[in-house]
Chain A
């Protein structure tokens, strides 16, 4: 698993694969990035327009989040600098708890799109992949921008960050995990237990 290899090994691995392949194997085209978000948006739209019971919708939206997001890189970023002192098993436990927590949280957030629609507007290249901008139009409010950052560095085309009107998911979650750590006196195990409670109340 990617999150089990040490950072030094990862850097070594990454640079050697670049050296061998010439072009990095994770090269993702703009069309692929756009297609990914198109398909994500289509899935979200079909769920929010389905008229199913709310609990079912939230479950389905969670599934969509798991399928399209690189949850493991999100977890690692959220743990931030504290990840350097975490053991391999702590990282694994954290990654597991984080996955449930984040899918539930953003699955719920997608719920507010019910009755509205999301459209892909534009895309452009960034340092690590592509940025795909979408517009969400919801009942009774001005359309707002939801931007996805897509990369294939994990080996699959996935989005690793999302901005809702400028609010950055990775940053928000790093603040959240940092606060959870503070609340638990900086103890990683206790923080994970706390996150597990948040993930499955």
Chain B
């Protein structure tokens, strides 16, 4: 691919990016993350959830279980390492956008270490050397910039999300530096590796994911609650701990309180 066409593609995506951010800004203006669970489209989300569950039952779960048990752990880990290494440039870009210098240096060091010493990212040498792992995404960048969480959505295939995190996913796809540096078919290796890493995680955490999707009385409500708590925890969003349920309130005083 010529340089000029790469630049053109990049410019096109940047324009698209700003449109998305503006739309997201408008969409998320009116409600905040302090509102515990904001799910005005529950009916629609529940339909998507039913679709996701049936997809998991028919395809994802059987394939993942097969994949996870067929491959030796070492190979499975290597594929996951490779996928995670390819995610580092995107983490670096977001760290820059958040003004997080430590994050920038952590992701840069990790990418270089694992790419060079870890043979193209197949081995997680950085971890062996005791380097802290840094993870972020454009959804977090939006949070840092002050965007509201927005309504809860369940996305087809991808599962639980919020309007803010969905915007983040789209933007991350557009700004991933690797998609500009690498041309096809090599660029598909990354997609393939992250799909495999996803399957690997589905296989490894089978019993936890199964317990949410198949053993809980209302898997939709359970997935929503778990996602929101975990997402807010990883963002460090202490302000929006589900208000009625301050985890440090004393259950011994009145366990039956609302």
Contact = CB atoms under 8 A, between A and B. Distances in A.
Interface in B50-107: 73, 76-77, 80
B221 A175 contact: yes
A46 B222 CA distance: 31
Nearest to A91: B256
A176 interface: yes
B52 to A, nearest CB: 18
Q: How large is the interface on B (under 10, 10 to 19, 20 to 34, 35 or more residues)?
A: 35 or more
A161 B207 contact: no
Interface string B200-216: 11001101100100011
B20 interface: no
Interface residues of A, number: 46
Among A108, A165, A168, A170, which residue has the most Cβ atoms of chain B within 10 A?
A168
B211 A105 contact: yes
Contacts of A112: 204-205, 207-208
Nearest to A109: B208
A8 to B, nearest CB: 11
Interface stretch (A30-38, A59-67, A75-83): A75-83
B137 interface: no
A174 to B, nearest CB: 8
A139 B73 CA distance: 9
Contacts of B201: 141
A187 interface: no
A149 B207 CA distance: 25
Contacts of B221: 175, 179
A163 interface: yes
A181 to B, nearest CB: 9
Nearest to B211: A105
Interface in B173-211: 200-201, 204-205, 207-208, 211
A142 interface: yes
Contacts of A190: none
Interface string B148-188: 00000000000000000000000000000000000000000
A168 B222 contact: no
A198 B217 CA distance: 9
Interface of B: 73, 76-77, 80, 133, 135, 200-201, 204-205, 207-208, 211, 215-218, 221-222, 225-226, 229-230, 232-234, 242, 245, 247-252, 254-258
Given A149-B247, A167-B230, 6 more contacts: A111-B207, A131-B248, A161-B251, A166-B233, A167-B233, A176-B216
